[in-house]
Amino acid sequence: MSRFVECVPNVSEGRRGDVIDRLADAIRAVEGVRLLDRTSDVDHNRSVFTYAGEPEAVLGATHALVDLALREIDMRAHKGEHPRLGAVDVIPFVPLSGVTMDECVALAHRFGHELAKRHDIPVYFYANAAAQPERVRLPDIRQPQYEGLAALLETTHVPDAGPRRLHPTGGAIVVGARPFLIAFNIELDSSDLKLAQRIAREIRESSGGLPAVQAKGFMLTDPPRAQVSMNLLDFTTTSLARVWREVESRANAAGVNLLRGELIGLIPLDAVLAVAADALRLDGFTRDRVIETHFLE
């Protein structure tokens, strides 16, 4: 049976197209790895790469990506809407087939220690690979952001691997193992940042909102509009359809319509089918009612 792992690094560069192209090429150059998706955002100044392959090949591609990113990105000059700790902000490993979550945890730990030694950079472990219970949630680790991290390296943010000092240009890196995550944004037909932040606060799990949902409000430009940016940690617990309804109802109550939704990276087929079943009110709908699934499997 083939053993496949997915990796979804988030890199703090979303504006320089030539740099993003070279990062994608570094992944493609590794035999046995397939680059599945790349998504960049100018306002967030961030790019997300999705690729998969055999575990060792994926590790090789991720090392190549980090090597190049640390040469090309200087966090001292980085500005963007999205929270981040470093040039390569977060690296999650996701089991696809023939690989268990425990094996992905071991992979993340091995890779994180290799990064720390190879680049003399602080590394934190999160999600299923968290070495400390208070570091399971990525937002808890990322809270100080790059600008505030240096002051906490001897207290709340002692690294799990690597030195207690920032990399001169690369900051720090978070590495983990997790199930599928859907990164989903909704843009409001409004430039009211406070409204987006209020909606995000009301719907996210940490504030008593929807289970398995992380959310934050952002301001985008060209044209100016507010955005509710979300991570759905388990779409079987809270679906995309429900997230859309919850955001829409709150926005409409404030006299604001929704402009559009945006996916960052890839999405599982079952999550899309769940949205279709919800929209069409198909009671008891299952994936075997979709003809293509019979050929895919």
CB-based contact 51:23 (threshold 8 Å): no
According to DSSP, the residues that pair with 124 across neighbouring strands are: 174
Catalytic residue among 82, 119, 157, 167: 82
Neighbours of 50 (CB within 10 A): 19
269 phi/psi in degrees, rounded to 5: -55, -40
Which of 46, 51, 164, 59 is CA-nearest to residue 107?
A: 59
Residue 193 structure tokens: 């940042």
Q: Which of 5, 66, 68, 67 is nearest to 32 (CA)?
A: 5
Q: Is 82 considered catalytic here?
A: yes
* Cα-based distances in Å from 110 to 54, 115, 123, 160, 224: 15, 9, 11, 12, 43
List b or e across 58-89, with b for residues whose CB sees 16 or more CB atoms inside 10 angstroms.
Answer: bbbbbbbbbebbbebbebeebebbbbbbbbbb
Using DSSP's 3-state secondary structure scheme, residue 28 falls into helix
Other beta carbons within 10 angstroms of residue 265's beta carbon come to: 18
The residues annotated as belonging to the active site are: 82
